[in-house]
Every structure is written in structure tokens, then in C-alpha cells.
Amino acid sequence: MVSEAENLADIPFGPEDTPWQKTFSSLRVVGGRPYGTPPSSDPRTAYLGVPEVPHHKVQLPPSGLDAEQYTEAESLFRRHIDTQTRNFAGYQVTSALDYEQRLGHYLNRHLNNVGDPYQSNSYTLNSKVLERAVLDYFASLWHAKWPHDPEDPESYWGYVLTMGASEGNLYGLWNARDYLSGKPLRTQHREPGRDGAEQAPQGEGPNAFHPVAFFSEDTHYSLTKAVRALDIDTFHDLGSTRYPDDNPLAPGAPWPRKVPSTADGAIDIEQLGLLVRFFASRGYPVLVSLNYGSTFKGAYDDVEAVARTVRGICAEYGLDHRRVHQDRDANGNHDERSGFWLHVDGALGAGYTPYLEMARDAGMVEQAPPVFDFRLSDLHSLTMSGHKWMGTPWACGVFMTRTGLQMAPPGASEYIGAADTTFAGSRNGFSSLLMWDHLARNSYDDQARVAAECDGLAAYTHQQLLLLQQQLGQDLWVARSPQALTVRFRQPHPDIVRRYSLACETVQVDGAARTYVHLYAMRHLTRQRVDELIGELRQPGAFAPAPPTGATDGGARAARPAVPVADAMAG
């Protein structure tokens, strides 16, 4: 009898289907027993497969792969990624990159921007000198006061993210939470002329340091994660526990989880105002996170109008400007700060719309979305993803705020020789190099031209899809929000979804669930590729026939063609 453990140790593993326990080199079987745990089931069936890259070809036996095995595995993966790169159309990420020639050298260099970007000491293998240049570039582009000056509360402070805008959102909300709940700032600032007779009111009342967060239903999932990780109450959390019967949007109805949006995907400012007033009137400080380029519909919240609304309401309840005393300071010293915080999640939009604005001012396009940046004195923090508009081989981004709003870093950091003001410990120093390279080689003029081209391609795609909808005589739900780089439409056959990496999302429209996909007109997308996609969408079976009213989704699924569209078209 063979025990089950031995059977499992015989599971075929690696490119040659070797029994797992025979994949060890002699050193590893000293004493007759392989090092490590055997698989508890066959990993090849445990995971989702990628047909183009068979799992056994890339499995990693303890002996590693020999040169031939490595070459075969790597070329399978390369072919797959190159094909998918060619057709990639569904996400707001630029896939046409050309860093290899110039920057390949640095793949053999360690670059770690640990700690504050403006301080460096013992850890010299960093690219902070480039990071500061990148940050100054964006500070100017976003109309902040620059360069960063630790003595000047109005100057910007920021850093290059190791994750994308998700990290920027997390950091922005963390900063907001500590600021609104009265934690110490990095430096105490008092606004000149504010002392004496016309002193700001003191933050007081049971809720004065209990921030409440507001964001719309079109908000990226990273915000939901951030409020959970940071234990920040949303208006839904507080409303449904403390004021269950008082939903100001619909008296008696349950509180919505998020602020309603318009059909275009922008936050509904009137409803936001009602919700903010409910909490501001009860003394809660207000944290609003806005989208500048929402993930699915590409919608731009009107940041300026929201800022005006929120400031106006907060002013009525003494939350626009208040004194915060520091317990740690026996002299009764205080700083002065607002009782609200506006964060803008500009993952795509903040990297792109400044150039579209330039294109508009140069007469290359007709319109650009509303202002979102530090021209608005009530903007507190802003984030952008580097891999989206700019394009980088991995996630990165920028976080920016004003120096006077920075919270005190949590602890001492003598070990790294720089203040621990960032979210990560070790930070990706290669990302600053990539962004620096991109910005050095693409002038404002270049970027404005590309922005206008992408805007034009989104408009073209929208037109072509509307035409197709007309020709097919079927409602494909084609829509484009104003100035969005994305166009959304009814989800087509899964083969098309996969070939073009189209992102799917189910949206409630008039009480019915609709599954949409969208594509993004990023700079690597061409008219030719759009035409190819439209050609595939025109084929019979590309869309499930519209279900008769009342039919379930199961009915729609059953109506899909038995032959994959690709094969049907090839034949």
C-alpha cells in the first residue's frame, strides 16, 4: 500500500512531468527526504489556466529549469503577453512603452527611495534627485506652490508612490483622518492675522473630532478598502447606526452606501450637499473624496462646485476654520485648520486633463473638463497613477498635498536617515526614473497633441459604435460621458472580451442589471484596431440577442453561439 502522502509526492511536476519528489538535486535529498512540503493536490488543476501558457511549462521545480526549458517557457509567456499587449483596449493603462533601450541598464541597479523624498542621508542608492524633479513638474502642472519648502505651509509636499493611486487614496484618507480628528501636524502653522479678536472658533462638541467620509457610487474600490483599513466611518456607517430613521435623501428609507451619481457617473452635488449638511449640522468634520476620471464611466466630478458647496455648508456650522489645541502642549498652543478635507482621486484624469486643457486653449479640441487642481484653495490632497496616462511597466503614481496639512510622521527614523513620512518603507526608486524619463522626452506640446488625439479617438469610437447599433437594430447601450477617454457598451461574446481585455461592469439602470464593457482610447490604441473590434462586433453572435422582457440572465447565456466568434469569423 502506498500512503496518500507518497502519492501526492508523485504528482507530475514541471516541464518534464517529473514526479514531484524526484525534482530535487542531490543536495536537497540528504537523508532521503525532500526539503519542504509536497503539494497537497495537483497545482495544475488547482488554478485558473492560461491556455497560451500551460502551467507545467512554467512550474518551478527545486532544481530550477535548464536552459532549454527556460527558453521554451519564457517564449510561451512572451508570445502571450505580446499578443495581449497588441489588442489591449479595455483599461485606462497605456501599453505602448519604450523604456528598454535607455533604461535597461538600471534593471541591474538597486534604487530605493526609502523615507521622505526631500531628505536623504545614508541610503545613497536612491533616485530622489529625479523624484524631486518629477514632483516639481507635477506641482507646476497642477498649479501648486513649488518648490517644496518645509517652512512654507502653502508650498506643496508629495511623494512618488510604490503602488498606484490606491496608495495615494489610502495615504490621502489617512492624512485626512488624522487632520480632522485633531492629531498633531508635522509643523504647527497659524494663519497670519487670524490671532486676537477674530479668532477662529474652537473645535468642540462630542463629534468635533469624528470625521465622516463621503464618496460617490462611481468611486474606485480602493476607497472602500481605505476607509475599512483606516477605520474611518462613512456617512452610511454613522447614519445607519446613529440615525437609522433620518436619511435626509429619502426619509424613512435605509441610508445609501455611497453618494448617488448622475447617469454620466459624476457625483450628484445636490444630494451630496444634503448628506454633508446632515452631518456638519451635528458637528462632524467632513471628508469628501472625489473622482477625476471615474474608473468605469471616465466621469469628472465638478471639484470646484463641490468645494464651493462643502465650504459653504461647513461655514454655517463653524467647520470651515477652527482652532485645534494640542494636548501635548501645556502652553495652550494651537493650530488652525479646516473642519473638512477634499481629496481628489485623479488616477487617470490628473495625469491627462491638464494637457487636454492646453489643447483646448490652443484650439485643438473644443472642451476640457472642469478645474480640479491646486488652483482651488480648498483642495487638500490629490493622487494620480503613473502607469495610466503616462505609461510605465508597473504600478506607480504621485501623491500631493500642501505642506501645512501634513500630519506628524508616526515615529523616529534615524535608521534610514530621512523622516518616515511616506506609506511604504522601501519605495520603488525605479518608478521615479521612469516618470522622469517620460517627462524629459515629452514636452507639453507633445502631450497636448496626444491628449487631443486620444480625445478624438474616443469620439470616433463612440460614433462607430452608435453607427453599429443603428445597423444591427439592437440597443447596445452605447454611451460616452463628457470628455471621457472611455466608451461603454453592452457586453459582447466572452472571446471578444478576452481578446481585447475589455473591462466588464454590471450597472443598475432603471432597476434592471446591465452588464457593460468599456474600452479606453489610450495612446497605443489606433483607429485600425478600433475598426477591427467593430468588425468583430458586427459578426452574428457577437452580442447575445436581447432577452424577451422578463427573461432571466440564464436565458441570455443560453442564447450564446455554440461556435466561438473567432472561429466562426476565421471560417
Binding positions for ligand PLP, rule: CB under 6 A = 92, 163-166, 220, 222, 291, 293-295, 345, 347-348, 385, 395, 397
Phi, psi of 489 (to 5 degrees): -160, 175
Residue number with CB closer to ligand PLP (247 or 294): 294
Sheet holding 156-161, edge to edge: 156-161, 397-402, 381-385, 340-345, 286-291, 212-214, 233-234
Q: Provide the grid cell at 142.
A: 497642477
Quote the least distance from Cβ 520 to ligand PLP, whole Å.
Answer: 10
Phi, psi of 499 (to 5 degrees): -60, -40
Quote the least distance from Cβ 138 to ligand PLP, whole Å.
Answer: 15
Residue number with CB closer to ligand PLP (301 or 455): 301
Quote the least distance from Cβ 167 to ligand PLP, whole Å.
Answer: 7
Residue number with CB closer to ligand PLP (239 or 349): 349
Quote the least distance from Cβ 214 to ligand PLP, whole Å.
Answer: 16
Query: What are the residue ranges of helices labelled H in 442-563?
Result: 444-472, 494-499, 527-538, 553-558
**How far apart (Å, rounded) are the C-alpha atoms in residues 322 and 332?**
15
Query: Please, which residues bridge with residue 402 across strands?
Result: 156
Residue number with CB closer to ligand PLP (350 or 476): 350
Angle at 195 between CA 191 and CA 200, to 5 degrees: 80
Quote the least distance from Cβ 181 to ligand PLP, whole Å.
Answer: 24
Quote the least distance from Cβ 386 to ligand PLP, whole Å.
Answer: 8
Query: Please, which residues bridge with residue 384 across strands?
Result: 398
**How far apart (Å, rounded) are the C-alpha atoms in residues 505 and 541?**
20
Quote the least distance from Cβ 118 to ligand PLP, whole Å.
Answer: 24
Quote the least distance from Cβ 397 to ligand PLP, whole Å.
Answer: 6
Residue number with CB closer to ligand PLP (91 or 146): 91
Contacts of 305 (CB under 8 A, 6+ apart): 269, 370
**How far apart (Å, rounded) are the C-alpha atoms in residues 170 and 383?**
10
Neighbour tally for 69: CB within 10 Å: 16
Residue number with CB closer to ligand PLP (15 or 164): 164
Fill in the amino acid letter for 489.
Answer: F
Question: Are the C-beta atoms of residues 99 and 437 closer than 8 Å to each other?
Answer: yes
Q: Which residue's C-beta sits nearest to ligand PLP? A: 164
Question: Are the C-beta atoms of residues 122 and 416 closer than 8 Å to each other?
Answer: yes
Residue number with CB closer to ligand PLP (220 or 462): 220
Residue number with CB closer to ligand PLP (79 or 228): 228
Fill in the amino acid letter for 84.
Answer: Q
